[in-house]
Amino acid sequence: MSSLTVELGERSYPIQIEAGLLDQAGFFVPYIKGPLAVIVTNETVAPLYLDKVRAACGDKHVETIILPDGEQYKSLEQFGVIMTRLLEMNAARDTTLIALGGGVIGDICGFAAAAYQRGVPFIQVPTTLLSQVDSSVGGKTAVNHPLGKNMIGAFYQPILVAIDLNTLNTLPAREFSAGMAEVIKYGIIYDADFFAFLEQHHAELKALNTQLLKDTIYRCCEIKAEVVAKDEREGGLRAILNLGHTFGHAIEAEQGYGAWLHGEAVATGTIIACHAAMHLDWLSASETRRVRDLFEAFSLPVSGPESMDKAAYMSHMRRDKKVEAGNIRFVLPQGIGKAVVTKDVSDDILAQILA
């Protein structure tokens, strides 16, 4: 088993990565703090992996909360469903929540763990590529609002991230591609050699080569763990992890949550960010072409919805969490392997890249 640690002092926690991890009887027992574990999952994942996770909880008493599947259900309404169920089962402060699913389940379960009785322990069991490389690590938890994505939430760290590579075998191809958008992001913002590795091995990754997937997921988690350890609450460095997200979240909110997958919106948002960086002479046309080609190699979109103009983007981006003193801050690449947060994107540049 491959493992690494998110170093946060007394709140540090391990990330375990292995094919067949969920088949290990009693695997979660050492991490479940009290007599009760509550698995939060959705209607799609439950038939696939709920029994395995139950078995991995050993002799602990296990309850389940099964939510509808889809980004549109990462809502205050479904958050309330979790709260009600926890109260109905008299869950105590030593209850451990287990988020079994993709980013939606991980985010809403984590937020519920942060809020219930002012905080109960929770475990992330991500079953999509996107959640394995990104959303399960780092403690960002949230629900969406019609006016903005992830605007209601908390920083709240899990006690364990358990990644079973075998869950990718049941992942739809579109969801796998969406996850690759976040994988590619790490190469653009932090590691040019990793970006080149993805270029070289994209065909094997699409074919779900187990060893290459394990190496890829490990490197993504390693980068994110390093960034989070330096800047847990996104006061500086951690903001670079949002490359493509300012534009991407605008697309998701404007089109209706679920119409575009998060990774699809991030891919398109990253291309828009690359065009902004080109206007600032931070990124060459050839580098932008490499980014575009790699996204396209994984069947990801590289242009925004035709129905969205600058006004539509701006109405959402003004509510972005990186806005300071009324100024939108953008994450832009400075070549492949480095990114910065900047306010230096003029209205003229925005008019051109959002046309």
Residue ranges per structural domain of the chain: 2-170, 173-353
* Active-site residue identified among 52, 224, 316, 329: 224
Choosing from 10, 88, 90, 118, which is the catalytic residue?
Answer: 118
Q: Is 52 annotated as a binding residue?
A: no
Q: Per residue in 276-326, pLDDT tens?
A: 999 999 999 999 999 999 999 999 999 999 999 999 999 999 988 888 878
SS3 97: strand
Closest by CA position to 62, among listed 30, 88, 40: 40
Which residue positions in the chain have pLDDT lower than 50? none
Place of tokens 């696939």: 48
- What are the DSSP calls for 7-20, one per residue? --GGG-EEEEEETT
Cα angle at 95 between 89 and 99, to 5 degrees? Answer: 95
Alpha carbon of residue 323 to chain centroid: 21
* Backbone CA torsion sign across 257, 263, 266, 271: negative
Question: Which DSSP string do the residues of 149-199 spell out, in sequence order?
Answer: EEEEEEE---SEEEEEGGGGGGS-HHHHHHHHHHHHHHHHHH-HHHHHHHH
Residue 300 and residue 265 in contact, taking contact as beta carbons nearer than 8 Å: no
- Residues 121 and 145 sit within 8 Å (Cβ to Cβ): no
Q: Give the CA dihedral 212, 213, 217, 219, nearest 10 degrees.
A: 10
242 as an active site residue: the answer is: yes
Nearest alpha carbon to residue 48 among 179, 143, 171 = 171
Q: How far apart are CA 55 and CA 49, in angstroms?
A: 10
Q: Is 168 annotated in some ligand binding site?
A: yes
> In CATH, what class is 173-353?
mainly alpha
Active site residue: 42, 52, 140, 232, which one? 140
| Same-fold call for 2-170 versus 173-353 | no
- Residue of 185, 245, 316, 329 with catalytic role: 245
Q: Please identify which of the residues 182, 232, 254, 287 carries the catalytic annotation.
A: 182
33 is in an annotated binding site: no
Pairing of strands 13-18, 2-6: antiparallel
To the query of whether residue 166 is one of the catalytic residues in this protein, the response is no
Spot the catalytic one: 185, 262, 290, 329. Answer: 262
Provide the Cα torsion 281, 283, 287, 289; round to 10°. -70
Q: How far is CA 174 from CA 171, 203, 223, 298, in A?
A: 8, 15, 24, 9
Residue 261 has which token pair?
A: 């997958």
CATH class of 2-170: alpha beta
Residue 249 a catalytic site member: yes
* 238 a catalytic residue: yes
Q: Is 149 annotated as a binding residue?
A: yes
288 is annotated as contributing to ligand binding: no
**What length does the chain have?**
355
Assess whether 52 carries a catalytic annotation: no
Residue 332: helix, strand or coil by DSSP? strand
Flag whether 179 is marked binding. Answer: no
CB under 8 Å to 222, separation ≥6 — which residues? 4
Residue 9: what pLDDT?
A: 97
Tell me the pLDDT tens digit for each residue of 97-151.
Answer: 999 999 999 999 999 999 999 999 999 999 999 999 999 999 999 999 998 899 9
Beta strands in the chain (DSSP E): 2-6, 13-18, 36-42, 61-67, 96-101, 122-126, 140-145, 148-155, 160-164, 330-333, 339-342
pLDDT of residue 66: 98
